[in-house]
Amino acid sequence: MTDPAPRITFVVTRADDLGGAQVHVRDVSLALAAHGWDVHVLAGSRGPLSEALEHERITFQSLPHLVRPVRPGEDLRAGREIRTALREIGPDLVSLHSSKAGILGRLGAVGLGVPVLFTAHGWGFSSSTNSLTRRTFRLMERAMAPLADRIIAVSEADRELALKYRLATPSQVVAVHNGMPDVPPTLRARPADEPPHLVMVARFAPPKDHTLLVEALSDLQELDWHLSFVGDGPQEPEIRALVQRRGLEARISFLGFRKDVAELLAAAQAFILVSRSEAFPRSILEATRAGLPTIASDVGGIRESVLTERTGFVVPGGDREALREHLRVLLREPTLRSTMGDQARDLYEAKFTFDRMLARTVGVYESLLGRPLPLSASSGWSRVEGDPTELT
């Protein structure tokens, strides 16, 4: 007799956007369903995530009281909703994503006798500038840690943070890098083309540092280049005003929120991500997949996705001079851009494919359930190109 199809329930706080946690839940859910798994997804709203899942006939349930802000009354009701749903579904495994769902989901699963996995898509305390907020997040995660049978960190840097602040034991937390479905060869970049076109994909909001990039490029006006900002956000008017003051209106474009990011990257010659803090940004993986060299701030797990002087450059956060000089190097040297782009593509194929991430994730599931689970060597799953990248 063959084992029944594994039944897995994902819980994520929101379904009305496509951030890193939502993209992960969407892509893994679709891949597992394609392999016969019984997949259920719980979230506190409806939107692009629920639409994508229901289009593929994956069971989605909206939890009215699960919201992102801290609201004790709503949170108590959301915890009850999660517990009720888990009892009704009867999953073999619960997989929790995002901080709020991670906390309430662990509490809701207490006593149900089902293994609980929490994936930390970046620790909340690492991105906050408020010391009290950071301490509160750390204490909450430390208190919740024993309620998870296993914790996945999306980078080695985040795994080290979990151990440093005693959020998990060494045997409890494992690093599984994010992975991206591939793109067709027609969406590979040509980094050596001239003049070089730079792209930064990021929301105009903290912790991103669009200001530093504009200031660094304002020192390089003697070189031929163009920059496209992709994304929207509350600080966009401020950055537009800065571009105007520096006389760069003809050289810096604001493209807004776009669904054709893969096409935009294919037309670029280098990718830039300037930020004050990060976990393990998927936007860099998309650039690496396209075969682009990257310049990025040395924060979070970025050194794991940008190999400095091989696939790009990692520069100290907030260092205008270092950023300017590394930009100068890439802008002047098309051969170097091409070499780094080739090595970036090789890195993607070796470490950051979706199939590799899925296989490692299912390996964690197997360790929790104590049995092999159905998954072929290649998932065969690829999201429809044209979906927007997640703007972290």
Per-residue pLDDT of the chain (392 residues; tens, 9 = 90+): 456 789 999 999 999 888 889 999 999 999 999 999 999 999 998 999 999 999 999 999 999 999 888 888 889 999 999 999 999 999 999 999 988 999 999 999 999 999 999 999 988 777 655 777 778 888 989 999 999 999 999 999 999 999 999 999 999 999 999 999 999 999 999 999 999 999 999 999 999 999 999 999 999 999 999 999 999 999 999 999 999 999 999 999 999 999 899 999 999 999 999 999 888 999 999 999 999 999 999 999 999 999 999 999 999 999 999 999 999 999 999 999 999 999 999 999 999 999 999 999 999 999 999 998 887 444 444 443 334 344 34
As a whole number of angstroms, the distance between CA 220 and CA 203 comes to 24
pTM over 0.85? The answer is yes
Maximum pairwise Cα distance, the chain: 72
Helices (H), the chain: 20-34, 48-55, 72-89, 99-108, 124-127, 131-144, 156-164, 210-218, 236-245, 261-266, 282-290, 320-332, 334-351, 354-369
- Residue ranges and CATH numbers for the domains of the chain are 7-181+353-369 (3.40.50.2000), 185-350 (3.40.50.2000)
At residue 135, the pLDDT reads: 85
At residue 129, the pLDDT reads: 57
Q: Which residues contact 218 (CB under 8 A, 6 or more apart)?
A: 246, 248
| Three-class secondary structure assignment of 90-108 | CCCEEEEECHHHHHHHHHH
